[in-house]
């Protein structure tokens, strides 16, 4: 084992060790009163029950797909698939279990110690998930890569091909878990949110987390299985896919000892960035202004700066700033690679800022939706849709600028490194995201346990910021997914040229099969999004009926003398989410095969590959727009409601508030189900296409 490999493994273990430290720190905090612990236990029970059933269903699908993959490509790809799937599941599962224990401790900290301690516990809980995602992803790739190099002779073309197939299999396993977790968790959480909000807030006129609402426990469960476990699986997958795709390009563009260096480089960038993120967690401290977002941004920007410095050190050490290399016929230097990595960090920072602008309560977009609520439900929805579409413009411009600068600087490999450096911050970004469900739950526990108003004021402040961080991190995930997909597409075209050198495949718009591929690929994110939205609609509708039934049939609920049947709502949503997630999740797996075989049947293999490649371009383009629009628009709708609840435009119970609830009901499945699930969809289609090439190459 080389010093480089040991360093990468060591960085992965640093993430795991930090996770253990953070878990111990969170669990050591007091868990509050008996009433608070009783509520937290109900949330824990519901979340564990759902996640166990979800992973059981995923495991069955995964075993079937893994066996098929093994039969088609061999056991190396199948083992990689299993590793990626298992590690993704572990990251989400552990993160969720910490999250559902941190919620009550955050509420207790807010009650006994105040804002600073509540912030500290919630963030440390989120950091557990974040560091586990980065650490397990890095360790999974490096350990399996080292094992593959021991099993086959990677110095030969055939041996390297088997190594790369194993790594692509690992990425595929991570992606499969991600789309199931994102979709299933999203259906659960938004079905609960939609159902309980529509009946509780509007019809019954009771607060969001009022214990008289039968859907309230399910809502809090959903925050953890959707926003914590789901997001963990999402960014684990994006991290693995991006690093593996960069390694594929490193193998394609370089030879000899340089090839090994370039394949190691994305792993080293990921490793040192873990160190940067771990150090940056200690920068998250509440300042004199009591700005929660400011405290979190201290950690985020510290991770950016420290990671940039460490990436520079790594490139100088391994490559040398002045060293020159040939890539795709162009001369590039180590400094070019460093500039490309900095571009990725810059794109990350800009997308985070843009997403906050579109989803933060202090900015024009959210305020405009809140203002539109004064004139009714319809105008709220119109303005929300307008904001969701507008919100695609600036991120796309930033991503385009990042693509051009990195490509001009260092070609396709430079673009891949930009994407890698974006994902290198995944540990800190997931920490910010997982902060959200903890603070949301803390507010719910404070309400249900009837804690004093000042406690709820503290938890509400944390929750409002948590809502923004969830939106911000989704913007980051989508932006990085767009770059990752482009890198995967580049890997697809390189493999196509390598494996089928005698096949003339073009992607010219003069070719009708290319146009057909573009149309079909462009349609898939819309079809997938529709399936996700309708699933939430059905789940939410069933909860509306159940909550209404309980209000109608159980006397004394409104008076507080009778207890709602919380478990009924949890059970309804569990069954619905597990059933509804299967078919949409299989769509991106089946689509490349259907496109290939349909076109190949009457036009031949060259046309089939043209259509398949074009479909990948189509899914990347429309998928990016659909995901950005849905997540930013949904976040804006949600915070417009919170802005009104803070006393603006009539406050709680006003007609504007009711209209904002309707808008938030539309936005919920936008931002937490359909939109984020498009991320893995884009990459799964690209990965399956790469595997399909390997299958037909024989």
User: Radius of gyration over alpha carbons of the chain, in Å?
Assistant: 24
- How far are the Cα atoms of 117, 210, 223 from residue 216, in angstroms, in the given order? 26, 7, 11
Residue 209 three-state SS:
coil
Q: How far apart are CA 281 and CA 124, in angstroms?
A: 8
pLDDT winner (highest mean) among 158-162, 294-298, 430-434, 480-484? 294-298
Q: How far apart are CA 539 and CA 552, in angstroms?
A: 20
pLDDT in the model for residue 591: 94
Give the H or E element holding residue 447.
helix 426-448
Q: Are 487 and 586 in contact (CB under 8 A)?
A: no
Angle at 232 between CA 277 and CA 360, to 5 degrees: 75
Confidence of residue 382 (pLDDT cuts 50, 70, 90): very high
Distance of CA 147 to the CA centre of its chain: 28
Residue 224: DSSP 8-state: I
357 φ/ψ sector (left φ>0, alpha ψ -120 to 50, else beta):
alpha
Q: Which residues fall within 8 angstroms of residue 146, CB to CB, at 6 or more apart? A: 1, 5
Cβ neighbours, 10 Å, residue 121: 28
Q: Are 18 and 195 in contact (CB under 8 A)?
A: no
> What phi and psi values does residue 326 have, to the nearest 5 degrees?
-100, 130
* Chain segment 539-581, per-residue pLDDT in tens: 888 988 998 999 888 888 888 788 888 888 889 988 888 888 8
Q: Report how far apart the first and last C-alpha atoms of the chain are (Å, whole number).
A: 32
Q: What are the residues facing 327 on neighbouring strands?
A: 330
Residue 505: DSSP 8-state: -
Q: Is the model more confident about 650 or about 227?
A: 650
Q: What are the residues facing 325 on neighbouring strands?
A: 332
Q: Are 570 and 46 in contact (CB under 8 A)?
A: yes
Confidence of residue 150 (pLDDT cuts 50, 70, 90): confident
Span 150-173, mean pLDDT? 84
Residue of 513, 683, 566 whose CA lies nearest to 45: 566
Confidence of residue 386 (pLDDT cuts 50, 70, 90): very high
pLDDT in the model for residue 121: 92
Give the count of alpha carbons within 13 A of 155, CB side only.
3
- How far are the Cα atoms of 167, 315, 626 from residue 8, in angstroms, in the given order? 17, 14, 36
pLDDT in the model for residue 518: 95
Q: How far apart are CA 439 and CA 223, in angstroms?
A: 10
Span 76-82, mean pLDDT? 92
Q: How far apart are CA 605 and CA 611, in angstroms?
A: 10
* Chain segment 344-363, per-residue pLDDT in tens: 999 988 988 898 899 888 89
Average pLDDT, the chain: 88
pLDDT in the model for residue 460: 83
pLDDT in the model for residue 529: 92
Q: Where are the alpha helices (DSSP H) in 391-425?
A: 393-423
Q: Are 344 and 402 in contact (CB under 8 A)?
A: yes
Among 603-607, 662-666, 675-679, the range scoring the smallest mean pLDDT is 675-679
Q: How far apart are CA 148 and CA 548, in angstroms?
A: 57
* Chain segment 431-489, per-residue pLDDT in tens: 888 888 888 888 888 888 888 888 888 888 888 788 778 777 777 878 877 888 888 88
pLDDT winner (highest mean) among 39-43, 361-365, 384-388? 384-388
Among 90-94, 351-355, 519-523, 683-687, the range scoring the smallest mean pLDDT is 90-94
Cβ neighbours, 10 Å, residue 393: 12
* Chain segment 413-422, per-residue pLDDT in tens: 999 999 899 8
Give the H or E element holding residue 10.
helix 3-27
Residue of 85, 58, 225 whose CA lies nearest to 581: 58
Q: How far apart are CA 357 and CA 365, in angstroms?
A: 8
Give the H or E element holding residue 639.
helix 605-645
Confidence of residue 185 (pLDDT cuts 50, 70, 90): confident
- Flag whether pLDDT at 698 surpasses 70: no
Residue 332 three-state SS:
strand
């Amino acid at each position: 084992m080389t010093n480089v490999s040991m360093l990468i493994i060591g960085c992965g273990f640093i993430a795991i060790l930090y996770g253990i430290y953070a878990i111990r720190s969170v669990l050591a905090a007091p868990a509050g009163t008996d009433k608070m612990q009783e509520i937290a236990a109900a949330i824990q029970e519901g979340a564990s029950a759902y996640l166990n059933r979800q992973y059981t269903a995923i495991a069955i699908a995964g075993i079937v797909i893994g066996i098929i993959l093994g039969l088609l490509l061999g056991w190396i790809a199948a083992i990689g698939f299993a590793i990626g799937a298992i590690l993704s599941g572990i990251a989400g599962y552990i993160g969720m279990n910490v999250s559902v224990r941190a919620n009550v401790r955050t509420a207790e900290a807010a009650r006994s110690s105040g804002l600073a301690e509540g912030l500290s516990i919630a963030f440390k809980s989120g950091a557990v998930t974040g560091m586990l995602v980065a650490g397990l992803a890095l360790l999974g790739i490096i350990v399996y890569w080292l094992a593959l190099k021991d099993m086959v002779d990677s110095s030969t073309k055939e041996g390297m091909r088997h190594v790369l197939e194993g790594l692509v299999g690992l990425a595929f396993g991570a992606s499969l878990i991600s789309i199931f977790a994102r979709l299933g968790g999203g259906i659960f959480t938004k079905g609960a949110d939609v159902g309980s909000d529509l009946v509780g807030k509007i019809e019954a006129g009771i607060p969001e987390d009022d214990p008289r609402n039968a859907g309230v426990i399910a809502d809090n469960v959903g925050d953890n299985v959707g926003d914590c476990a789901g997001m963990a699986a999402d960014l684990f997958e994006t991290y693995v896919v991006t690093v593996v795709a960069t390694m594929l390009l490193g193998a394609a563009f370089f030879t000899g000892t340089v090839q090994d260096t370039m394949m190691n480089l994305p792993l080293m960038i990921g490793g040192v960035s873990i160190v940067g993120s771990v150090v940056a967690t200690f920068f998250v401290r509440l300042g004199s202004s009591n700005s929660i977002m400011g405290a979190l941004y201290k950690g985020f920007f510290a991770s950016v700066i420290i990671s940039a410095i460490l990436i520079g050190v790594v490139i100088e050490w391994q490559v040398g700033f002045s060293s020159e290399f040939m890539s795709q016929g162009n001369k590039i230097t180590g400094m070019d690679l460093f500039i490309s990595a900095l571009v990725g960090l810059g794109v990350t920072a800009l997308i985070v800022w843009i997403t906050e602008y579109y989803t933060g309560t202090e900015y024009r977009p959210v305020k405009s939706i809140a203002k539109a609520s004064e004139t009714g439900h319809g105008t709220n929805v119109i303005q929300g849709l307008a904001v969701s579409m507008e919100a695609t413009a600036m991120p796309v411009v930033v991503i385009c600028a990042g693509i051009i600068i990195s490509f001009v600087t260092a070609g396709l490999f430079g673009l891949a490194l930009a994407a890698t450096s974006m994902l290198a911050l995944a540990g800190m970004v997931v920490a910010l995201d997982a902060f959200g469900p903890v603070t949301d739950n803390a507010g719910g526990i404070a309400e249900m346990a009837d804690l004093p108003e000042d406690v709820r004021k503290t938890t509400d402040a944390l929750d409002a910021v948590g809502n923004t961080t969830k939106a911000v991190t989704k913007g980051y995930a989508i932006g990085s997914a767009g770059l990752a997909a482009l890198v995967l597409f580049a890997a697809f075209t390189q493999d196509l040229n390598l494996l089928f050198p005698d096949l003339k495949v073009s992607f010219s718009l003069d070719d009708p099969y290319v146009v057909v591929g573009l149309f079909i690929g462009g349609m898939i994110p819309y079809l997938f999004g529709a399936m996700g939205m309708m699933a939430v609609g059905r789940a939410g509708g069933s909860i509306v009926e159940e909550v209404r039934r309980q209000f109608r049939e159980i006397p004394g609920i409104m008076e507080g003398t009778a207890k709602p049947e919380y478990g009924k709502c949890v059970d309804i949503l569990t069954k619905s989410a597990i059933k509804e997630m299967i078919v949409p999740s299989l769509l991106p797996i089946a689509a490349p095969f259907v496109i290939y075989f349909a076109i190949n049947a009457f036009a031949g293999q060259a046309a089939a590959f043209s259509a398949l490649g074009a479909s990948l371009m189509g899914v990347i383009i429309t998928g990016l727009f659909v995901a950005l629009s849905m997540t930013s628009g949904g976040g804006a709708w949600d915070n417009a409601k919170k802005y009104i609840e803070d006393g603006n435009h009539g406050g709680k119970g006003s007609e504007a508030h009711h209209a904002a609830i309707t808008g938030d009901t539309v936005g919920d499945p936008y931002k937490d189900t359909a939109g984020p699930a498009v991320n893995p969809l884009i990459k799964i289609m690209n990965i399956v296409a790469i595997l399909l090439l390997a299958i037909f190459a024989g």
